[in-house]
């Protein structure tokens, strides 16, 4: 076993006040991010998409295995095939496969089986998780905490998309194994999330929903005053 190699960590250091300001500013910035379903066909430069994916891949992962593949689809022929397959599954979902409770929970979002954004958005990024991998000699290698790792990378991707002034939708057509077939992905890759990326359509609207307040999502265990 070789010795581990360490290098110095060059940290950003802020005074407490600046740290507070930065944390508040970032919160307010991220609070503007919304899932948007109405896309414009306005093009986005490939270089922007490249940077978004580079950012996603800065995410931590189990044993640094980076168990992800980002498929970037701009080809209208493939987008159409994805839309048709997704709409076929969603039609079945909305006509009997989803429970009454589930349909009621989706009511505020006004969704149905139609998925025009899959053809309108200039890019579809399909995130695949790699259940396992192969080394240079073709031997199977293990990945760890794959769902957690890919979930974190997908989160980084969403923040990068927002930072670039673009919109996204975390879409999970269900079941979505058709993506593996259409995109001809190898056996070790499983579709994880489908994310259309682009600009909002003119006059795009989003559901009027609220985020939970801090008191409902955080529990603090602090030292008791003596
Ligand atoms: N996949 C379906 C249904 C759907 C499910 C959830 I959970 C959502 O948050 C939104 C939609 C669809 O895309 O319409």
User: In this predicted structure, what is the pLDDT of residue 72?
Assistant: 99
- C-alpha triplet 146, 193, 26: angle, nearest 5°: 85
Going by CA atoms, what residue is nearest to atom 6 of ligand 1? Answer: 106
Atom of ligand 1 nearest to the CA of 173: 1
Which residue from 90, 114, 170, 172 has its CB within 8 A of the most atoms of ligand 1, so it is best to mutate? Answer: 172
Whole-number Å distance, alpha carbon 105 to ligand 1 midpoint, is: 10
Question: Which residue is listed with tokens 């058709």?
Answer: 178
> Distance of alpha carbon 48 from its chain centroid, rounded?
16
Residue 149, classified by CB atoms within 10 Å of its CB into exposed (0-12), middle (13-18) or buried (19+), is buried
Whole-number Å distance, alpha carbon 112 to ligand 1 midpoint, is: 8
Determine whether the shortest distance from the Cβ of 174 to ligand 1 is under 6 A. Answer: yes
CATH no., domain 36-83+115-202: 3.40.109.10
Whole-number Å distance, alpha carbon 150 to ligand 1 midpoint, is: 20
Determine whether the shortest distance from the Cβ of 111 to ligand 1 is under 6 A. Answer: yes
User: In this predicted structure, what is the pLDDT of residue 11?
Assistant: 85
pTM, rounded to two decimals: 0.97
Mean pLDDT by 10 residues, the chain (226 residues): 95 95 98 98 98 99 98 98 97 96 96 98 98 96 98 98 98 93 97 98 98 98 94
Q: Where are the alpha helices (DSSP H) in the chain?
A: 16-31, 46-56, 76-92, 100-106, 117-120, 146-163, 178-182, 214-217
What residue ranges do the domains of the chain occupy? 36-83+115-202
């Amino acid at each position: 076993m070789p010795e581990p190699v360490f290098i110095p960590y060059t940290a950003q250091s802020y005074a407490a006040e600046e740290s507070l300001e930065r944390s508040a500013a970032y919160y307010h910035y991220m609070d503007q991010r919304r899932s948007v379903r109405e896309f414009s066909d306005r093009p986005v430069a490939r270089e922007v998409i490249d940077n978004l994916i580079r950012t996603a891949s800065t995410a931590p992962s189990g044993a640094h295995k980076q168990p992800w593949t980002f498929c970037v689809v701009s080809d209208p022929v493939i987008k159409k095939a994805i839309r048709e397959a997704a709409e076929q599954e969603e039609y079945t979902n909305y006509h009997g496969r989803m429970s009454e409770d589930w349909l009621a929970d989706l009511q505020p979002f006004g969704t149905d089986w139609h998925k025009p954004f899959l053809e309108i958005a200039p890019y579809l990024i399909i995130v695949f998780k790699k259940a396992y991998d192969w080394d240079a000699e073709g031997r199977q290698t293990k990945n760890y905490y794959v769902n957690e790792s890919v979930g974190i990378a997908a989160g980084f991707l969403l923040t990068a998309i927002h930072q670039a002034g673009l919109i996204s939708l975390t879409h999970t057509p269900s079941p979505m194994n058709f993506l593996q077939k259409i995109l001809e992905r190898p056996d070790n890759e499983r579709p994880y999330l489908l994310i259309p990326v682009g600009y909002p359509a003119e006059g795009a609207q989003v559901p009027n929903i609220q985020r939970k307040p801090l008191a409902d999502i955080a529990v603090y265990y602090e030292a008791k005053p003596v």
